[in-house]
Amino acid sequence: MTMTLLAAGCGTRKETNSVDHSLTEEAARQQIFSYLQKTADATGLGFSMQSDRPDPGSPLEPAGPVPCYDGYQERGPHQIQASYWVVGVPHGQVAGTFALLQRTWTNWGWRLDPEATTTIAGLATLDHYSFILRDSELGDGWLSVTGASPCFPYEGLGATTPQPTTIKPAS
């Protein structure tokens, strides 16, 4: 199943008005990490590029800019995508944790994709970021979340702040 929210962020549209000309890679990255930190603080769950469970979890790639639109124009608009494992999911509580995250985000006014299921849900923030929550459906508690920014101009590339490998709830 493909969630339509990521496509709405950049995906396949070619309109130039879907590019946020005031956004930069640095600002987009920081906003995604800020949303994940806010989520960790609200739910008590953490996020990590490395799973807290044994195989089959794999380390996730660092957040990076990717071209927007069909044709993947290298010098065209880009967006940031960052993926994390959800850590701290109690054994046997995948469905409840999935529902908790989804409920937390919709309580903040994020729009839930109408195609959402109990194993994959797309949500869109009020400022046009999108998040995909996915249950690996392996029955072992693997949940991941991927955030994507709106598109920004090619000239906005160049982040200097390192990506956090772990995002923990504030104590």
Residue-wise pLDDT for 89-127, tens only, equals 877 888 999 999 999 999 999 999 999 998 999 999 999
Between CA 98 and CA 130 the distance in angstroms is 16
Question: How confident is the prediction for the chain on average, in pLDDT?
Answer: 84
Give the chain's radius of gyration (CA, Å). 16
- In a 13 Å sphere around the CA of 148, the CA atoms on its Cβ side amount to 23
Per-residue pLDDT, 140? 63
Residue 4 to residue 6: CA distance in whole angstroms: 6
Report residue 86 as tokens: 């959800």
- Is the pLDDT score of 23 beyond 80? yes
Q: Burial level of 80, CB count in 10 A (0-12/13-18/19+)?
A: buried
Residue 56: the pLDDT is: 54
**Between β-strands 143-148 and 111-112, what pairing exists: parallel, antiparallel or unpaired?**
unpaired
State how beta strands 64-67 and 78-87 pair. Answer: antiparallel
Question: Which pLDDT band, with edges at 50, 70 and 90, does 160 fall under?
Answer: confident
Instruction: For the chain, give the secondary structure using H, E and C.
Output: CCCHHHHHHCCCCCCHHHECCCCCHHHHHHHHHHHHHHHHHHHCCEEECCCCCCCCCCCCCCCEEEECCCCCCCCCCEEEEEEEEEECCCCCCHHHHHHHHHHHHHHCCCEECCCCCCCEEEEECCCCCEEEEEECCCCCCCEEEEEECCEECHHHCCCCCCCCCEECCCC
Q: Where residue 2 falls among pLDDT bands split at 50, 70, 90?
A: very low
Residue in the structure block whose two tokens are 């982040």: 159
Q: What is the mean pLDDT of residues 123-133?
A: 96
Q: How confident is the model at residue 59 (pLDDT cuts 50, 70, 90)?
A: low
Is residue 101 within 8 Å of 86, Cβ to Cβ? yes
Q: Residue 67 above 50 pLDDT?
A: yes
| Mean pLDDT of the region 16-39 | 91
Q: What is the pLDDT confidence band of residue 139, given thresholds at 50, 70 and 90? A: low
